[in-house]
Amino acid sequence: MAGQMIMMGFDGLELNSEIMDALKRIKPCGLVFFRRNMANWNQVKKLIRDLQNYASSIGLPPLIIALDHEGGPVFRMASRLTPLPSAMALGASNDPSMVDCIARIAGQELKALGFNLNFAPVADLNTNPRNPVIGIRSFGDDPFKVANMVSRYISSLQSTGVMATAKHFPGHGDTSVDSHLDLPIVDVDLNVLLNRELIPFKAAIDAGVSCIMTSHVCFPRVDSSNLPATFSKYLLRDVLRGMLGFNGVIISDALEMKAISSRFDVDDVVLYGLNAGLNILLRGGDLNYIFDLKDSILKLVKSGGVDPKLLYDSYIRIEALRNKINSYSSPMEVSIKNLRKNRMLSMDVSLSSITLLKSDLFRPLKGYNSIAILIPRILQRFLSNFSSEVVNLFVGEFGSYIDTLVISFYDEDVNFDDLMDIVYNVDGVVFFTYNAIFHRFQLDLYEKIKDRVLMVVAAGSPYDAELIDGDKPIALTYGLNPIVLSALVDVLCGVCEAHGILPVKLNLKS
């Protein structure tokens, strides 16, 4: 039972002696996959099958196999899985049926691979424009609209046999610190949470969400212990279990995040976490730490620091989750035809989400003879073959409309003289930004060439629009992937209209 309180990450693309030894020694409830475990469709499917077969051979119950598959910037494997729009793009579509569609696509494809738990949806409200970690992973900043979309996502995802996880309780959207790097502190009281952040979580619970993931965020006006929510007995037992009535599995966010790992040793993690009400301790890597985690659970139970009844309670909840998963035990196959259909549906959703600000100033680009497109290199993290994919897509899409297309990638070390030669030898510039509030060099470049800019594309945070001076139309895409790019080009060429609405409040410059 001590091992069943642990969900662990691992290294490698195939079942090996290290993973087999870890499963024998730890006996975890499940495994979490990361990009390092996912090369392609067939490899992932075989690895999950091998893991489940080996677990069964050593007497373990079926493994809970999880990953973060939110869409948008959180997307673990590009090979064959349908590129999905971000949650905020879904919020911009203002159409809950789009949420149903994307959740079903995610669930069907994950189920076909062998996954049975998705760490999605994000139920956080992105109320802080300077939030460095949530942003477009949130559906928006309106608690009731977000609640509706969270509820629809959970119902549709779980109907495929893949269980949902609402995160990051009680909210990570009003922070300006990334809990991967430090401990965020949110100075609001319980009434604010009840009337804002907790509304989507209550909707998730009413929709039958299987798991809720905690945030490594401190709420000192809610819990005077000054412990992060992950370790807060008041927030997990009194608020989540008591006030909100959640009876499912409570899982921690990854324990290697600096908000936890830089402040608490292994014994503290176990002591505070299990006594607060965590059912699963999630650790994404470092087998030595995971072995210590299990040893600490055993030690603290034997010493009286942790009541063994807590382990029994957690085990019962985890078994209930397994039973729920097993009720959808029939495998699902996804054909090439299904995948093509899913990509077309994702394209439709992307088209419905692109938002055009100052649309009265917009002129379709097919009316120009020559265009330069400037794109920040930071976007290459979202496309595996960034330069070639972007060039091929833009040239292919724009080729029939525009005689000369120049695509240039810029970063903080850009040579301004070279760029000036480009931008003053074309009819105009399409200027891409990505989270410019955190990468100010993008705005420095914009200021130098803004008289040549025809339009701006904010490819990440919509709050970039607040930073753009002048009378420029601005297209918001809420993330970037090949399907979003293709939809964007259709909008820029005037082939399709942009129908998205703003999912967050903006203060635009005139």
Dihedral pair phi/psi, residue 7, rounded to 5°: -115, 130
Closest CA to 56 of 7, 20, 11, 17: 20
State the pLDDT at residue 408. 86
Over residues 111-126, the mean pLDDT reads 96
State the pLDDT at residue 326. 92
pLDDT > 70? residue 84: yes
Token digits for 314?
A: 């957690």
Over residues 168-197, the mean pLDDT reads 92
- For residues 310 and 75, what is the distance between their CA atoms, to the nearest angstrom? 34
The amino acid sitting at 348 is D
Contacts of 113 by beta carbon, 8 Å cutoff, 6+ apart: 41, 44, 45, 48
pLDDT > 80? residue 391: no
Answer yes or no: 172 catalytic. Answer: no
Model confidence at 383, in pLDDT bands (50, 70, 90)? low
Q: Which run of H or of E encompasses 168?
A: strand 165-169
Higher pLDDT, 243 or 383: 243
Dihedral pair phi/psi, residue 329, rounded to 5°: -70, -20
Choose, from 141, 174, 253, 292, the residue flagged as catalytic.
Answer: 253
- For residues 479 and 456, what is the distance between their CA atoms, to the nearest angstrom? 14
Closest CA to 11 of 399, 290, 423: 290
Choose, from 50, 180, 427, 499, the residue flagged as catalytic.
Answer: 180
Higher pLDDT, 395 or 492: 492
Model confidence at 140, in pLDDT bands (50, 70, 90)? very high
Over residues 154-168, the mean pLDDT reads 97
Model confidence at 384, in pLDDT bands (50, 70, 90)? low
Domains and CATH numbers, the chain: 3-51+65-326 (3.20.20.300), 354-492 (3.40.50.1220)
State the pLDDT at residue 118. 98
Least confident of 227-236, 264-273, 362-371, 374-383: 374-383
Higher pLDDT, 217 or 76: 217
Contact 251, 211 (CB under 8 A): yes
State the pLDDT at residue 491. 92
pLDDT > 80? residue 295: yes
Over residues 27-40, the mean pLDDT reads 96
- For residues 10 and 18, what is the distance between their CA atoms, to the nearest angstrom? 9
State the pLDDT at residue 480. 86
Over residues 64-88, the mean pLDDT reads 89
pLDDT 10s digits, 409-427: 888 888 878 888 889 999 9
Model confidence at 390, in pLDDT bands (50, 70, 90)? confident
Token digits for 357?
A: 């600000």
Give me the helices (H) in 159-241, please: 190-195, 198-206, 233
Q: How far apart are the first and last CA of the chain?
A: 61
State the pLDDT at residue 510. 62
State the pLDDT at residue 399. 73
pLDDT > 90? residue 330: no
State the pLDDT at residue 385. 60
pLDDT > 90? residue 198: yes
Residue 64 pairs in a beta bridge with: 30
Contact 7, 251 (CB under 8 A): yes
Percent helix, percent strand, percent coil in the chain, to nearest 5? 45, 15, 40
pLDDT > 80? residue 387: no
Residues 491, 494, 497, 503: what is their CA dihedral angle, to the nearest 10 degrees? 40
Answer yes or no: 348 catalytic. Answer: no
Over residues 231-256, the mean pLDDT reads 97
* 312, burial (CB in 10 Å: exposed 0-12, middle 13-18, buried 19+): exposed
- For residues 68 and 133, what is the distance between their CA atoms, to the nearest angstrom? 14
> What does the mean pLDDT of the chain come to?
92
Higher pLDDT, 451 or 383: 451
Higher pLDDT, 383 or 311: 311
- Helix, coil or strand: residue 229: helix
pLDDT > 80? residue 79: no
